[in-house]
Amino acid sequence: MAFQRETEALGQVAGRLGWDQETMMPRGAAEQRSDEMSAMEGVLHARRADPRIAGWLAQADPVDAVAAANLRHISRSYQRATKVPAALAQELARVTSIAQGIWAEARAKDDVAAFLPTLAEVIRLRREEATCLAQGGDLYDALIEDFEPGATAASLGAMFDAMRPRLVALREAVLGATYQPVKLEGHFGQEAQMRMARDLATAFGYDWERGRLDLAVHPFSSGSGDDARITTRVVEADPFNCFYSTIHEVGHACYELGIDPDYRLTPLGSGVSMGVHESQSRIYENQMGRGRAFAGWMFGQMQGRFDGLNIPDADAFYAAVNRVQSGFIRTEADEVHYNLHVMLRFDLERALIRGDLAVGDLESAWNDRFRADFGVEVMRPSQGMLQDVHWSCGLFGYFPTYSLGNVYAGCLNVAMRRDVPDVDDHLARGDATPATAWLRENLQRHGGLYEPREVVALACGFEPSEGPLLDYLEAKFRAIYRL
């Protein structure tokens, strides 16, 4: 395991380079950083595909479940690495590093044309990689495997097909309701927002001795073990953007920080999949953070920090926090619309990878689909295909894990409230400890010990499905909108 520990440590160093690129790196360093990322990927790829690993795996005799799980992850990584040429892996690292800066500038200028050639190159490289991995199978399935082992486009598509009718019906009912919550309005300064964001992170158990909070164009979490960092962003007219982005990323970071320390710098020392990861960020953000109990505590906090709130009481604030509207931005979307945003991306990126959609037609395809799904016309690219960082990073196959995480979170919420019936009494005081302790004990501490669906089923005591999430959404929003 000494060899593997060094590989895991180098992977963490590569992640830190990515964190720096999005938070602290001077803009002029982008080209050099892409070479650094390429070089690091070359080192990591060589280690992951080291021919000695095959012999070590053949000789290994796991003595317990932990050893067997480590071998499972090492074998999966080795099989993947040996299928992808080192030169391709390095070129992907180099191009996606540069692409993030090009995307950020194009987004700021609403200039799709400036991004399309780079996006086309990213897609070309990812399709080449997927061809190596799929070995005659479905290219998109091969990419999904990187983020959610065991999931396929077919299984995710079936999940979306089951979710869409109830989500659309709920949306129509809510948007047509007589009662509509008041929107929070005003000017909320950056410094005050960041102070409250730090307090929110503390309320959800974020360990400041092993983490930090910074600003980024697109909020993210990075790292594991004893170093799990988070970022957020500030819109001075919309503090919920900052507050709920922060809580979301705290969920990711707390998952990493909550893993059994014995697994540190082993294949078990990180979250097992992005779907399970998203279950943590989404249950922190939504079932807890947007719940009536915690929203009531937040209202009191905001009254003490921001003058002239246009929201009269805690009930109206809870409704404002959960206000449903056909907005453009996925990360700002309410719970009713959020999964519809993901479905749009799932269908478009699957078509891009399969070659059914040309990159040059992506903007019009996005805008047409958005109009059909949301009934709103996209007015500028930063509201549409340029809003997310994922495609510049080459993260094709990642988006559906957001909805899978919502599904897992719906199941975990049922189980948590079954086992911790007084959880809302604590959340109403700004104390998420009983909830986060349950999640840490039943899911987070296991890291990569189990397969994704297996660890959720073990935590819940039942097989995960979309039913609990949809039941939760219908009950919550029908009550808020007095339907």
Q: How far apart are CA 466 and CA 318, in angstroms?
A: 25
The single-letter code of the amino acid at 432 is A
Half-sphere CA count of 151, side-chain side, radius 13 A: 29
Q: How far apart are CA 156 and CA 404, in angstroms?
A: 8
Tokens 């927002």, located at residue: 193
Under 8 Å CB-to-CB from 112, ≥6 apart: which residues? 106, 363, 381, 385, 386
The secondary element (H helix, E strand) that includes residue 228 is: strand 227-232
Strand, coil or helix: what is 219? coil
Q: What is the DSSP letter of 215?
A: E
Name the token pair of 234: 């500030």
Question: Is 91 tagged catalytic?
Answer: no
Q: How far apart are CA 178 and CA 99, in angstroms?
A: 46
Cβ–Cβ < 8 Å for 443, 416: no
Q: How far apart are CA 352 and CA 362, in angstroms?
A: 8
Nearest CA-CA partner of 125 in 25, 27, 38: 38
Nearest CA-CA partner of 310 in 188, 182, 480: 182
Choice among 148, 249, 466, 474 that is catalytic: 249
25-57 in b/e burial notation, b at 16+ Cβ within 10 A?
beeeebeebbebbbebbbebbebbbbeebeeee
Q: What phi and psi values does residue 215 have, to the nearest 5 degrees?
A: -95, 145
Radius of gyration of the chain (CA): 22
For the chain, give the number of residues. Answer: 483
Cβ-in-10-Å burial (0-12, 13-18, 19+) of 129 comes to: buried
Name the token pair of 180: 């509509």
Q: How far apart are CA 337 and CA 327, in angstroms?
A: 8
Cβ-based neighbour number of residue 23 at 10 Å: 16
Name the token pair of 352: 């891009």
Nearest CA-CA partner of 151 in 135, 138, 164, 163: 138
Q: Which residues are catalytic?
A: 249
